[in-house]
Structure 1
Amino acid sequence: MTENPFFRASTLAYELPPFAEIRPEHYLPAFERGMAEQLAEIAAITADPAPATVENTLVALERSGMLLRRVRGVFDNHSSADTTPEVDRIDAEISPRLAAHRDAIHLDAALFARVEELHARRAGLDLDPESLRLLERRYTAFVRAGARLGAEQQVRLRGINAELATAASEFRQNVSADSQARALVLDSAEQLAGLSPDAIAAAAENGRALGREGSYVLSLKNFSNQTELASLTDRSVRERLLTASLGRAAGTNGPLAIRMSALRAERARLLGYDTHAAYVVADETAGTVEAVDALLARLVPPAVANARREAAELAKVAAADSVEEIAAHDWAYYSEQVRQSSYQVDSAALRPYFELERVLRDGVFFAANLAYGVSFTERPDLVGYHPDVRVFEVFDADGTALGLFLGDFHARASKRGGAWMDELVTQSGLLGQRPVVYNNLNIAKPAPGEPVLLSWDEVRTLFHEFGHALHGLFSDVRFPYFAGTAVPRDFVEFPSQVNEMWMVWPEVLANYARHHATGEPLPAELVGRIEAAESFGQGFRTVEYLAAALLDWAWHTLPEGQEVADAEEFEAAALAKAGLAVAAVPPRYRTTYFGHIFAGGYSAGYYAYIWSEVLDADTVEWFKDGGRSVRESGEVFRRELLARGDSRDALDSFRAVVGRDPETAPLLARRGLL
């Protein structure tokens, strides 16, 4: 297939993939050739008769696999953001083959021998800091991948990795299919009473797009507590919506979760660790299971106490509706009533002030310019992977071109739930590549001609994901192994969480929060009430999150050989043991649709959000109280942390910004846990 667009480097700006030319039938041939080419490049490294050097071994390894990188970046996005049955079939086929390919590299004895030999004499090699770190990190990666295991153990390891890859693909597709099947279909607008007019119109548009003209469809977002629960006045509709959400993939993914956790426990034992969690955190900033245990255990009691205090407030309001006991489908609704009565904050009434285009340009982009001096120019001449995708060229303060940012903001049936960032081209000084990054969100698309109005949480998500995008765009490393967000899992959420602070930064908020029809600014006194109302909900949000984090932890602290008979029973027991069996606050993700840990990279790592928030809350205080201008602080944060990727120890980068080790007090204050 000489016409396959993956077989050559793109000639478009910044090597943006030529999406207009790419078709599903190009993927498998490109994967197959890409894997073959990289194995040939590895064979050339190991066949080199010259003694191993950083240049002929590690740098050569960094240069390998260019075709595979091109196709992998595009396919991973296609399978998540705009999948089809054909793409799903390719995913199911290629996932275990890619796992086998990774093993073929990491378990190549001759390649590891060269890396090990270099590592043994690293002190005398006179390497620059980034090259030395590449040697140390690559060596660690080989060892953690099983390079020291015996032949029989490596055979079993390969089998485990292939089975896990297949299971992850199946888990992901099960969640996607059942989420679509369980979308709540309603016959009349009256059943949506309480939603804003634009949200009702979006539900009607969603019904039309899904082939249900005349119906109103609420598609499920990837987390448990659907956002509409805060507004729907019909209690039975709320119950139906939450029931649909909580029951996703229960029949298919429960057994898969049991099998995957057992395989991970077996692999951890093979590699010398007591549990999968111990294996994971050994290479994270947390370092030990005990460190994670200590943080989570410290947070649970005050978080549950906060939630119970909130529940008492909700019960007072619910009594007026003759609701005797707050159920899970009631919590968000009566929380909204408390916000309106106690704080005079009406979430639905806020939406007209948060129109997507204005939030993006006058909020997200404006904040990036304020802190870092960058600017954005839309490039309609560059084609994205879907008609909804917009392409922006990013420029530094001095006019230097940095890379491309792609924004894909709207929900559709072919896109998985949630929000995420990833890269199509990774920055590298070695390869002469500048970054091409993208954000995916799931904002409901309104009827044609209507404005796209965001909730407060959707505004936060937009700022959050753009924080990841900046991490990729500002990357300034030599080796692609270290670029952008390729940092420890319990550090990667830190920069994106810091970026959330700009949504309420006075200068930024005043610039974007304006009524889409009148242009009137968001009333200044309302901002303080919003923040007070946010504090009221911290008990719920913290318990919801901790329940998911400790559920992940329970699955992945299982030792090898400990059998689980039923996933739902295991989940209930785990939450009870953790002190988080709060019936009215279900986990943010239940086991059977917890894609982060069973179909993504967060297994034994969902604690990362709260671990990163320790750094985030501390850094926000540094931004506020440092005696520097926003621009000066932004330059320090960019130069010492965002640009560094993983080219030095993550916590060293934090210390280079803040000037000390992290402290937990700002997080505890933010979460109301002091």
Structure 2
Amino acid sequence: MTQQNPLLSEWNTPFSIPPFDEIENQHFAAAFDHAFQVERANIDEIGNNKDAPSFSNTIGALDQDGIMDRVLGVFHNLAGSVSNPELEALQRDLSPRYAAFHSETMMNEKLFARIDTLYQARETAGLNAEQLRVLELYHRMFVRAGANLAGDDRKRLSTIMQRLAELGTEFTQNLLADERDWFMELSETDLDGCPSFLKSAANQAAQERDKDSYVITLSRSLIVPFLQFSPRRDLRETAFNAWVKRGENGGDTDNIDIVTETLQLREERANLLGYDTFADFKLETEMAKTPANVRDLLMAVWEPAKAAANADAAKLTRLMHDDGINEDLAPWDWRYYAEKLRKAEHDLDESELKPYFQLDQMIEASFDCANKLFGLTFKPLDVPLYHPDARAWEVLKDGRHMAVFIGDYFARSSKRSGAWCSRFRGQSVQNGVDIRPITVNVCNFAKAPKGEPALLTFDDARTLFHEFGHALHSMLSDVTYGFISGTSVARDFVELPSQLYEHWLSVPEVLEQFARHADTGEAMPRELLDRLLAAENFDQGFATVEYTASALVDLAFHTEPAPSDPMAKQADVLAALDMPAAITMRHATPHFAHVFSGDGYSSAYYSYMWSEVMDADAFAAFMETGDAFDKNTAQKLHDHIYSVGGSKPADVLYTEFRGSLPKVDALLKGRGLDKIA
């Protein structure tokens, strides 16, 4: 079987990249059967070892990459990027099965007894700093997964984890189905007043659906510019309502019952483990530590953001009334009139800007910044990948192989929405060999018609830099144990490397070099660049309100008794905040994938803002030197943030880089909200 199944055989490919051209859907079921068998045997061997527990024969043995890591790495990435009914069916079967296996491992009494013995003697075991950290984290993981529970509580927690895995998979697949199935077919006349790049993208989307006209889909890179530029208020309303109703349309893809059960099970899980609420459980291991600290941060930002948004709403309403629409400003009006206001206040027009942000140029810009900061170079690879749109590079530093980087940038119906960084293989040292990562960035940019360059908005380019910041965190990793490599850090620290990297997109010398017109090749004129940078905080009230409202709803869901009606609870939270009527949550509950596709960001959506407090302060370290690429500061950033994974607590890592932890003032100043009354 191992010889016939490419997932199980040796990968004689460049850098052991998965042999995507050989892997077929039917290979996964047999590969997982084999992987479960092998992994269970490995766990039993470690737990039943007659030798006294040592770091090497227990933690070191657990930390070795196995066949399960390999198969899961391929499967999860394909399920998110090139989904199909076969993969979705397998995902529904696999998620509870893997959750049961994980619980079985975490509650293996013999295995935990060995880990606990090592943990109790950790101070006298002669471990180095990294080994001590890894031991402590493994012990904490087992305890938080129920290793100390007994009897019915142990069985119940395992059942809960399996059901939560099922629910997360169902939530994700329902959301993908709603995003895949909805589109609005338009005529050329319906797009009167819209810029040519939007028409081209809508025509390309139509061709992908075998339509001869124009199509608006729920891909952010298509629907947002439509909401910005379409003068047809009726069509904007139709599109906006479809966008915000994802996961809330009744029928088989409705997510509300899934959310209700998920919240109830999370609360029960936390109670079984001795916590009052799920947020208390979840935040204990994060930088924030407590729900109160999270709420303090969010509320410190909420009032100035709401004041800014309300002031902007008054301006937008006047513009709408000038158009003869004497109604209240609605959510489907905001982006349209904000674009008009930006034109009036900053003389910026997206049609004028967008030709300067070619996808290929922005990729090169992100690579060039990585070269200036960290000495990385990127060599294109001609290897089979999982989709024709994906591309790959070998990443080198001083001639040393550091990683393989895969970029998958265009939206398609088989890909879940959003943008993310993942990996097919993480970094670790195994048997003295430095295993280098295979990292992937996945985005959902609008694809240009054949023969035309793909153009991004400035926000799209920022997303590209953000995800590449995550990729750098993975690719620069230089630790021994995979458990703490790359992005394996506290959730409210993991966004620091990505959000920090966004700042380099706005460095004038970067834009002068790479923001070149798609038709003429000329650099962006300095006066246009100045106008662009001057407007960076334009509409920041809106952006901050829609994000912070989502984070506060997430926090409320997990700090209070699980609601029987999540939508009523969402409404109550927003009413108590006096949410501006013309702004909606960035992620309404039925499509809040960060929180309900799994528990990664559950009660932790605030993490982006927590990290932003640090990223504003961290970039200031470069500005204080007068050089955005200052070599000494970049070396400190590499040594204390990007290369060290979770080898130390996050607050220690940041303090080693910067000298102290920042206050929220840095975030308010960075968003231009520090002077808002």
TM exceeding 0.5:
yes
Alpha-carbon separation, structure 2, partners of 1:224 and 1:612: 28
Which residue number in structure 1 is paired with residue 506 of structure 2? Answer: 504
For 1:50, the aligned partner's letter is D
What is the identity, as a one-letter code, of the residue corresponding to 2:103?
D
Asked whether the equivalents of residues 552 and 606 of structure 1 are also in contact (C-alpha less than 8 Å), the reply is yes
State the match for 2:301 in structure 1.
299
- Superposed CA deviations along residues 512-541 of structure 1, whole A, max 9, x for unmatched, are 111011122112122232233232311000
SS at match of 2:405: strand
Aligned amino acid, residue 618 of structure 1? D
1:103 to 2:106 alignment:
no
Aligned to 1:366: 368
Corresponding residue number in structure 1 for 2:8 = 7
Is 2:488 the counterpart of 1:486? yes
Secondary structure in structure 1 of the residue aligned to 2:424? strand
> Do the aligned partners of residues 427 and 33 (structure 1) sit closer, same or farther apart at CA in structure 2, a change above 3 Å counting?
same
Contact 1:304 1:543 in 2 (8 A): yes
Distance 2:185 2:98 in 1: 39
- Deviation sequence 1:469-525 (CA, Å, 0-9, x none): 100000001000011011111111110000001111122111111101112211212
8 Å CA contact retained: 2:219, 2:411: no
Correspondence for 2:597: 599
Distance in 1 separating the partners of 2:247 and 2:663: 40
Quick one: distance in 2 between partners of 1:416 and 1:369?
31
Mapped to 1, the partners of 2:527 and 2:322 lie a distance apart of: 29
Over 3 Å counting, the alpha-carbon distance change for 1:224 and 1:673 in structure 2 is farther
Q: Is the 8 A contact 1:547 1:580 kept in 2?
A: no
Partner residue, 1:177: 177
Taking the aligned partners of 2:606 and 2:170, their CA distance within structure 1 comes to 24
Aligned partner of 1:210 in structure 2 is 209
The equivalent position to 1:583 in structure 2, one of 581, 584, 588, is 581
CA deviation after TM superposition for structure 1 residue 223, in Å:
10
1:352 is matched with which residue?
355
- Mapped partners of 1:30, 1:480: distance in 2: 22
Aligned to 2:166: 166
Letter in 1 for 2:53: A
Aligned partner of residue 537 in structure 2, secondary structure = helix
Partners of 2:442 and 2:146 in 1: CA distance: 34
Q: How far did residue 193 of structure 1 move?
A: 3.0
Check the 8 A contact 2:221/2:445 in 1, yes or no.
Answer: no
Does residue 449 of structure 1 match 2:451?
yes
Map Cα deviations across residues 330-349 of structure 1 (whole Å, 9 max, x no partner): 10111100110111011122
Structure 1 residues 399, 224: closer, same or farther in 2, change over 3 A? closer
Aligned residues of 2:614 and 2:661 also touching (Cα < 8 A): no
More displaced 10-residue stretch of structure 1: 193-202 or 240-249: 193-202
CA separation of 1:504/1:232 partners in 2, compared to 1, >3 Å: closer, same or farther?
same
Q: CA deviation at 1:314?
A: 1.1
- Taking a change above 3 Å as real, the CA distance of residues 551 and 568 of structure 1, as seen in their structure-2 partners, is same
> Helix, strand or coil for the counterpart of 1:534?
coil
The question of whether the paired residues in 2 share the 8 Å contact of 1:278 and 1:557 is answered with: yes
Structure 1: distance between partners of 2:605 and 2:578: 16
CA distance in 2, matches of 1:161, 1:193: 51
The 3 A distance-change label for structure 1 pair 580 and 35 is farther
Match of 2:325 among 323, 326, 331: 323
The equivalent of 2:425 in structure 1 is 425
Q: Give the residue type in structure 2 aligned to 1:232.
A: S
Counterpart contact for 1:224–1:246, Cα < 8 Å = no
| Structure 1 gaps, min length 5 | none
Deviation at 1:303, TM superposition (A): 1.0
- Aligned partners of 1:378 and 1:224: how far apart in 2? 29
Contact 1:547 1:575 (8 Å CA) reproduced: yes
Aligned partner of residue 645 in structure 2, secondary structure:
coil
Note the C-alpha offset of 1:26.
0.9
Q: Following the alignment from structure 2 to structure 1, what is the Cα–Cα distance between the partners of residues 401 and 650?
A: 27
Aligned equivalents of 1:109, 1:308: Cα separation in 2:
57
The residue number in structure 1 matching 2:279 is 277
Q: Report the CA distance between 1:570 and its aligned residue.
A: 2.0
Q: How much has 1:105 moved relative to structure 2? A: 0.8
Match of 1:549 in 2: 551
Q: How far apart, in 2, do the equivalents of 1:341 and 1:371 lie?
A: 37
In the aligned structure 2, how far is the partner of 1:530 from the partner of 1:293? 33
Partner of 1:195: 194
Q: Name the amino acid aligned to 1:204.
A: N
| AA aligned opposite 1:412 | R
Alpha-carbon displacement from aligned partner over 1:83-139 (angstroms, at most 9, x marks no partner): 001100000000000101110110101111111111101110111000000110000
Residue by residue over 1:156-206, the C-alpha shift from the partner in whole angstroms, topping out at 9 and shown as x without a partner, is 0011001110011111010010112222222x1222234321221121111
Change (3 A) 1:194 1:630: farther
- Tell me, yes or no, if the aligned pair for 1:223 and 1:418 is still in contact at 8 Å: no
Tell me how far 1:373 sits from its aligned partner.
1.3
Conserved 8 A contact 1:427-1:476: yes
2:125 aligned with 1:125, yes or no?
A: yes
Whole-Å Cα distance in 2 between the matches of residues 278 and 384 of structure 1? 42
Match of 1:148 in 2: 148
- SS of corresponding position for 1:586: coil
Q: Deviations over 1:634-660 (max 9, x none)?
A: 222112111000011111111111111
Who is 2:639 aligned against?
639
Q: Secondary structure at the match of 1:618?
A: helix
Q: Would you say 1:236 and 2:234 are equivalent positions?
A: yes
2:659 maps to which residue? 659
- Alpha-carbon distance between aligned partners in 2 of 1:222 and 1:343, rounded to the nearest angstrom: 24
Q: CA deviation at 1:580?
A: 4.6
Any unmatched runs of 5+ in structure 2?
A: none
Q: Secondary structure at the match of 1:409?
A: strand
Tell me what 2:648 maps to. 648
State the distance in 2 between where 1:627 and 1:241 align.
46
Alpha-carbon distance change, 25 to 103 in structure 1, aligned in 2, over 3 angstroms: same
Alignment of 1:47 with 2:48, yes or no, is: yes
Q: 2:75 aligned with 1:72, yes or no?
A: no
Moved more, 401-410 or 8-17: 8-17
The 1:653–1:9 alpha-carbon spacing in structure 2 relative to 1, beyond 3 Å, is farther
CA distance in 1, matches of 2:333, 2:596: 29
Q: How does 1:239-258 map to 2 (within 5 A)?
A: 239-250=237-248, 251=250, 252-258=254-260
CA separation in 1, counterparts of 2:402 and 2:72? Answer: 23
- Aligned counterpart, 1:616: 615
Question: In structure 2, the residue corresponding to 1:536 is in which secondary structure?
Answer: coil
| Stretch moving more, 115-124 or 8-17 | 8-17
The aligned amino acid for 1:539 is G
> Which residue identity is paired with 1:350?
L
Aligned-partner SS, 1:576: helix
What is the number of equivalent residue pairs in this alignment?
A: 664
Deviation digits for residues 270-314 of structure 1, max 9, x if unmatched?
011111111110011111111111111211111111100111111
Alignment of 1:116 onto 2:116? yes
Q: Distance in 1 between matches of 2:494 and 2:293?
A: 18
Verify the 8 A CA contact 1:14 1:435 in the aligned structure 2: no
SS in 2 for 1:131: helix
Measure how far apart 1:222 and its partner are: 6.1
The 2-side partners of 1:620 and 1:266 are apart by 41
2 CA distance for matches of 1:227 and 1:465? Answer: 21
Deviations 1:525-581 (A, max 9, x none): 22232233232311000001011111211221233xx441x332221112112x152
In the TM superposition, what is the alpha-carbon distance from 1:9 to its structure 2 partner?
3.8
C-alpha contact (below 8 Å) 2:180/2:414 kept by paired residues: no
Letter in 1 for 2:274: G
Query: 2:654 & 2:590 partners in 1: Cα distance?
Result: 35
Evaluate the alpha carbon distance shift between residue 284 and residue 223 of structure 1 in structure 2; reply closer, same or farther with a 3 A threshold: farther
